[in-house]
Amino acid sequence: MNKIQGSASPRNSALDVLKLFRIIFKSANRHFHEIEKVAGVGGASLWALAEVAETDKLTVTELANRMSIHQSTASNLLDKLGSEGYIEKVKSTSDRRVVHVMLTEQGRATLEKAPLPHRGMLPDALMRLSPTTLAELNQHLLALVAGMEGTQAGAAFEPLGKA
């Protein structure tokens, strides 16, 4: 048996799963620190830049949907990226209420030097799972969250890495 998988008792099985969560979170945090060290922006900011780069004239709502975060969180993230020179906001010519977001040269340069995956290790790994595996994982995690006291349901729409 390896160091992660122990015996099949309920207590040991729970501790084995806890070890896997530790590996996931420690690995994701290490990747976030590497991003910040190399690229000079946080993990959430880098993910936002990657989404802006993939979609010509992205809107705040589209970014929020792509990152599964609150629209106000996406707006704040884009405000920060704009004030730091990574993106520029342009009002739509057809509807002045709509604002499109585009990368600046600084934003492109930051993406080019940043370590992959730009969306972060955890979102990238999740997006590569099969639909069946994702559905099963979702069901199991819902059961886990339901069994926890004091859960922070609002955290569902907050990015993992800092901006």
Is 156 within a domain? Answer: no
**DSSP state, residue 91:** E
φ, ψ at 85 (rounded to 5°): 85, 10
The model's pLDDT over 48-66, given as tens digits with 9 standing for 90+, comes to: 999 999 987 899 999 999 9
Q: Is 56 or 144 the better-scoring residue by pLDDT? A: 144
Domain extent for 11: 1-39
Is 19 within a domain? Answer: yes
Residue 1's pLDDT is 43
Residue 156's pLDDT is 80
The model's pLDDT over 79-117, given as tens digits with 9 standing for 90+, comes to: 999 999 999 999 888 888 888 999 999 999 999 999 999
The answer to whether residues 43 and 35 touch, using CB atoms and an 8 Å cutoff, is yes
Is 63 within a domain? Answer: yes
The model's pLDDT over 31-41, given as tens digits with 9 standing for 90+, comes to: 999 999 999 99
Is there a single domain that holds both residue 64 and residue 32?
Answer: no
Is there a single domain that holds both residue 89 and residue 139?
Answer: no
Residue 59's pLDDT is 93
Is 122 within a domain? Answer: yes
Is there a single domain that holds both residue 93 and residue 142?
Answer: no
Domain boundary among 93, 115, 137: 115
Is 161 within a domain? Answer: no
Residues 6+ apart with CB under 8 A from 73: 64, 157, 158, 159
Conformational region of residue 149, where left means phi above 0, alpha means psi within -120 to 50, and beta covers everything else: beta
Is there a single domain that holds both residue 46 and residue 111?
Answer: yes
Mean of all residue pLDDT scores within the chain: 90
Number of domains in the chain: 3
Is 50 within a domain? Answer: yes
Greatest pairwise CA separation for the chain in angstroms: 64
φ, ψ at 58 (rounded to 5°): -70, 145
**DSSP state, residue 68:** T
Please count the other Cβ atoms lying within 10 Å of the Cβ belonging to residue 10.
7
Distance between CA atoms of residues 121 and 156, nearest Å: 17
Is there a single domain that holds both residue 91 and residue 48?
Answer: yes
Is there a single domain that holds both residue 75 and residue 11?
Answer: no
Categorize the per-residue pLDDT at 163 as very low, low, confident or very high, splitting at 50, 70 and 90. Answer: low
Is there a single domain that holds both residue 97 and residue 134?
Answer: no
Is there a single domain that holds both residue 50 and residue 78?
Answer: yes
Residue 5's pLDDT is 57
Which of 69-73, 129-133, 153-157 is least confident?
Answer: 153-157
Is there a single domain that holds both residue 108 and residue 125?
Answer: no
Residue with tokens 């069946």: 132
Please count the other Cβ atoms lying within 10 Å of the Cβ belonging to residue 101.
25
